[in-house]
Structure 1
Amino acid sequence: MAVRGKAMVTLPTLVRAMRRRTSNHMPSNQPLPSLRRAFSLYDQINLIDNVPEDQIRFKQVTDTGFGVKGVHYEGSLLCVGNLLMSWHPKKLSEVTSESLSIFQTVRPVPEILLLGCGKYIQPVNPELRAFIRSTGMKLEAVDSRNAASTYNILNEEGRIVAAALLPYGVES
């Protein structure tokens, strides 16, 4: 509480000082600089070329599998952090709590499971949603290309993430 009280007393003084400094350095009749060009994350840092050697990064998503580190993997994949495993389900209806039972034992628990449904986003069985929620993970069901891309970004950020990916050619 003492820190909060000190911050509340200091804040008005800080705001007044910043207003004085701003008014001294910027004439009021001069327009602000244009904000038309916003910088994206990739303008600031290049994540693609700075991926650690041991980190999984999906480079290709095909109708039959996935390209990771120059290797093409046929079929479905299950990824947790930087661990890549072959996965049995061939279509979304085969994705069950049993096929995802590894998440009952994985520690630390990933914050999110990205479910790549194939070519199209498909509704996920409510029982499967309940199972995933019971493990402590959130579920994001998207097409497999977006799931792989999102996995790359979250994994590069150092977040604990998992992906269950069906090949892009899967439609139902």
Structure 2
Amino acid sequence: MASPLRACRQFASSILRQGPQSSRRLPLPTTTANAAYRHATIRTAATPKAVTSLSSSSSRFFHTSAPRRADGDQPPPTDFGALDVLGNTPVPSTAIDVCMSDGFHLNSGARVLDGAGVLLVGGEAFSWRPWVSRGEKRLLNAKGQWEVPNDSLGLLGLLWPRPDLLILGLGPEIRPISPELRRHISSLGMRVEVLDTRNAAAQFNLLATERGVNDVAAAMIPIGWKEGVGAVW
């Protein structure tokens, strides 16, 4: 019996000998060649199905729609109140409740009025008038920089350990502080943050609650301050 490969070669040669004008089908010469031909045809015909099946099976890995949840299988709502880590922390008594034109209203119920500023140190509140030694109600130097006498912050030099941050509230607007004042605060081992009084009060309330009143101090003048006039209401 002829081998399948030899039979296929004989069959192909017989087709070529017929020429392009032959339109009739030739029977396969042997059973072996017929089987080999059917096997080749089945493999060729199966190839597109195999590719289609692979494409369909792999496409599921690129499906981006979220799966449907069964009824009653929804996640619980987020309680943002539970995420407030400071929610149960008591507010310091020196926290500022209200910034007034001529003073401050503290959480303890105490008030600093009559145009005075406030110095908040170690859980205590002190009336603060840094302009008194100058004899006039001015806080700006000749260069337009905010500057107070070094001795107006003398209380901070008596503390030990000192707060590591001093928040300055400069009134209704923010201005640069003088290099001399910045150097003096730095010599006390403290960092300084300069803000307008409203934002300074909010920052002090937050940090004093979070870190404690011994780590944060504040010195602020009223929001109604006008240079040369003082705090007006």
Same fold by TM-score greater than 0.5: yes
Deviation of the 1:168 alpha carbon: 0.7
Please list, as runs of the form range in 1=range in 2, the aligned pairs for 1:5-154 lying within 5 A after superposition.
29=64, 44-45=83-84, 47=86, 50-51=89-90, 55-68=93-106, 69-74=108-113, 75-90=116-131, 91-93=138-140, 95-154=148-207
Could you tell me how far apart the structure 1 residues matched to 2:87 and 2:222 are? Answer: 23
Structure 1: runs of 5 or more not aligned: 1-27, 32-37
Which of the pair is proportionally richer in strand?
Answer: 1
Could you tell me how far apart the structure 1 residues matched to 2:162 and 2:178 are? Answer: 21
Go from structure 1 to structure 2 and tell me whether the alpha carbon gap of 1:43 and 1:123 turns closer, same or farther (over 3 Å shift): farther
Q: Percent identity?
A: 34
* Amino acid in the other structure paired with 2:104: F
CA contact (8 A) 1:79 1:85 kept: yes
* Amino acid in the other structure paired with 1:169: G
Q: 1:138-166: CA deviations, max 9, x gaps?
A: 11111111111111111101240010110
Q: State the superposition RMSD in angstroms.
A: 2.7
Go from structure 1 to structure 2 and tell me whether the alpha carbon gap of 1:81 and 1:29 turns closer, same or farther (over 3 Å shift): farther
Go from structure 1 to structure 2 and tell me whether the alpha carbon gap of 1:73 and 1:47 turns closer, same or farther (over 3 Å shift): farther
Could you tell me how far apart the structure 1 residues matched to 2:124 and 2:90 are? Answer: 15
Go from structure 1 to structure 2 and tell me whether the alpha carbon gap of 1:61 and 1:49 turns closer, same or farther (over 3 Å shift): farther
Deviation of the 1:125 alpha carbon: 1.1
Q: Radius of gyration: which is bigger?
A: 2
1:161 is matched with 216
Deviation of the 1:48 alpha carbon: 7.0
Deviation of the 1:136 alpha carbon: 0.6
**Greater relative CO (CA pairs within 8 A, separation 6+):** 1
Structure 2: runs of 5 or more not aligned: 1-62, 67-77, 132-137, 141-146, 228-233
Q: 1:2-24: CA deviations, max 9, x gaps?
A: xxxxxxxxxxxxxxxxxxxxxxx
CA contact (8 A) 1:89 1:166 kept: no
* Amino acid in the other structure paired with 1:157: E
Aligned length: 137
